[in-house]
Chain A
Amino acid sequence: GDSVTQMEGPVTLSEEAFLTINCTYTATGYPSLFWYVQYPGEGLQLLLKATKADDKGSNKGFEATYRKETTSFHLEKGSVQVSDSAVYFCALSLGSSASKIIFGSGTRLSIRP
């Protein structure tokens, strides 16, 4: 069945470090791919999305490219900040984001000052 696998956390980095959180997926059809972020005490927020192969989603300095050949959607940021500390979820949907969403297990990111 359809699934999302992302790297286990927690991930701890120093401020201004380069971030990569790996995400791979298995899906029938052509999914849309998402990264959601959950800051402490808040609900999940859509961080970025890509709806077709080779699309790049970007927001707040984060980027992820939809790679069909490797079924991946890795999240990257060139220079992380303390305020980026949160849990990050990779997800897919076979429709729009208002359709059923399948989530990865989440990766907790902590940034040291």
Chain B
Amino acid sequence: GAVVSQHPSWVICKSGTSVKIECRSLDFQATTMFWYRQFPKQSLMLMATSNEGSKATYEQGVEKDKFLINHASLTLSTLTVTSAHPEDSSFYICSASGAGGETQYFGPGTRLLVL
């Protein structure tokens, strides 16, 4: 099946620094990528949807200047958490779907801890 990877799998950073998380589709072209956030024992919450070559669409309440999303190629999307603070600590998960758009394939997630 289609494989989506994320890097890094976990990251610890100091408050005020920026962190970039990569999401790659390894064996298919991802026309659409999604970024989710999951707090402990809670649902995955969609943060934004991005289509290759265009600006991401953010969900209500998600700060676009805080969470920068770039989907510059059909196999790579990045999420940059700018000026991270402890409340940004969370589990970030990406997913990708191909041109057929029938199925989202999920990455294994990135755990971010901001000290």
Contact = CB atoms under 8 A, between A and B. Distances in A.
Interface stretch (A43-51, A66-74, A75-83): A43-51
A63 B17 CA distance: 46
Interface in B64-112: 93, 95, 97, 101-109
Given A96-B101, A96-B102, A98-B97, A43 B43 contact: no
Interface size class of B (residues with CB under 8 A): 20 to 34
A106 interface: yes
B41 A105 contact: yes
A1 to B, nearest CB: 10
A43 B32 contact: no
Given A97-B102, A98-B102, A105 B42 contact: yes
A4 interface: yes
B23 to A, nearest CB: 10
A41 B108 contact: yes
B106 A98 contact: no
Interface of B: 1, 4, 32, 34, 41-46, 49, 93, 95, 97, 101-109
